[in-house]
Structure 1
Amino acid sequence: MPTCDHCGSHVSEHFARVFADERGRVLACPNCSANAGIAEVARRRTRTA
């Protein structure tokens, strides 16, 4: 079961396929980011990680 690497919440397989980075990490999810900004938050977290 995929989880958000930032907050640990469960995410669906489909969500992980769409929003995971090239290593399969999900850096933002609806529980820890605004839905409209998930991709942008994930990009920012990737830069700082």
Structure 2
Amino acid sequence: MSQCNHCETFVSNNFVRVFGDEDGNVYACPSCSANAGISQVSTERRASSL
């Protein structure tokens, strides 16, 4: 079962495939980010977690 690393909400495997990183981690989802900004927020959160 996949989940958002930020808010721990369930995300589908398709969502992970599209918005996840190469390791399958998701840093933003519709529950914790605006739909229009998921890619940008995900990139920013991933960069800050490294």
If the length of structure 1 is used for normalisation, what is the TM-score? 0.95
Letter of the 1:41 counterpart: V
Cα distance between partner residues in 2 of 1:10 and 1:46: 18
For 2:45 and 2:25, locate their aligned partners in 1 and report how far apart those are by CA, in whole Å.
11
For the residues of structure 2 that align with 1:34 and 1:10, how far apart are their CA atoms? 16
> 4+ residue runs of structure 1 moved beyond 6 angstroms?
none
Please give the alpha-carbon distance, in whole angstroms, between the structure 2 residues aligned to 1:8 and 1:40. 19
Residue correspondences, number? 49
Displacement of 1:47 in angstroms is 1.0
Q: Give the CA RMSD over aligned residues.
A: 0.6
Q: CA deviation at 1:11?
A: 0.5
Q: Could you tell me which residue of structure 2 aligns to residue 39 of structure 1? A: 39
SS of residue matched to 1:25: coil
Identity %: 53
| TM-score, normalisation: structure 2 | 0.93
Stretches of structure 1 that go unaligned for 5 or more consecutive residues are: none
